Amino acid sequence: MSVAVVYGSAMGNTEGAANMIASKLGISDVLNIADIDAAKINSYDKLICGTSTWGSGDLQDDWDGFDFSGLSLSGKTVAVFGMGDSESYSDTFCSGMGKLAENLKNAGANLVGEVSTDGYSFEASDAVVNDKFVGLALDNDNQEDQTEARIDAWIDQIRSYFA
Ligand SMILES: Cc1cc2nc3c(=O)[nH]c(=O)nc-3n(C[C@H](O)[C@H](O)[C@H](O)COP(=O)(O)O)c2cc1C
């Protein structure tokens, strides 16, 4: 079974989280979306995909420029994570993760790893569906001290899918 962690990151925060998630799950393929195409993503059995949020609730630039129409993920297990700023961008906190999840679902992905909004403080987010985040929300701008614990708890939750 092949698994990759794929991330888009402007300043390195999402990249750091991607590397931490991969290392804790023993995944060696950690790929920057800026460097790969849809065929590369399609070659994996399972994926963990992460994006930060830019603009006002937008995908990180490299994901924003990515051609999702080439993705074919029918029935594949995929988990998403997002990096945002719940204080300065409280109305669009981690909304990019919601957009990423939507694009991956449209490509056929079977999304796993939703997370309770308990412990987060924000006004609104496109990443919340049925009162839960569609994946792991992280905030290194205000709560970096919680990032590793949040990742650990999430990994406990999703490990059986990706081990
Ligand atoms: C101009 C600008 C716009 C941003 N817009 C949002 C936003 O809409 N929602 C959010 O949650 N975070 C927003 N952020 C915060 C970033 O997502 C956050 O700093 C993140 O850690 C960046 O991760 P990266 O280095 O992996 O790109 C914004 C930051 C900047 C500088």
* Geometric angle at alpha carbon 52, from 56 and 38, rounded to 5°: 110
What pLDDT is stored for residue 1 in this prediction? 87
Determine if ligand 1 sits within 6 Å of the CB of residue 39. Answer: no
Percent of the chain with pLDDT over 90: 99
Determine if ligand 1 sits within 6 Å of the CB of residue 14. Answer: yes
Determine if ligand 1 sits within 6 Å of the CB of residue 60. Answer: yes
3: pLDDT strictly greater than 90: yes
Q: Rounded to whole angstroms, how far apart are CA atoms 40 and 42?
A: 5
Residues 6+ apart with CB under 8 A from 3: 25, 27, 29, 44, 45, 46, 47, 48, 162
36: pLDDT strictly greater than 90: yes
Determine if ligand 1 sits within 6 Å of the CB of residue 84. Answer: yes
What pLDDT is stored for residue 163 in this prediction? 78
Residue type, 98: G
> 48 near 20, Cβ under 8 Å?
no
CA 1–ligand 1 middle distance (angstroms): 33
pLDDT digits 0-9 by tens, 134-152: 999 999 999 999 999 999 9
Q: Rounded to whole angstroms, how far apart are CA atoms 57 and 50?
A: 14
Q: Look up the pTM and report it.
A: 0.98
82 band by pLDDT with thresholds 50, 70 and 90: very high
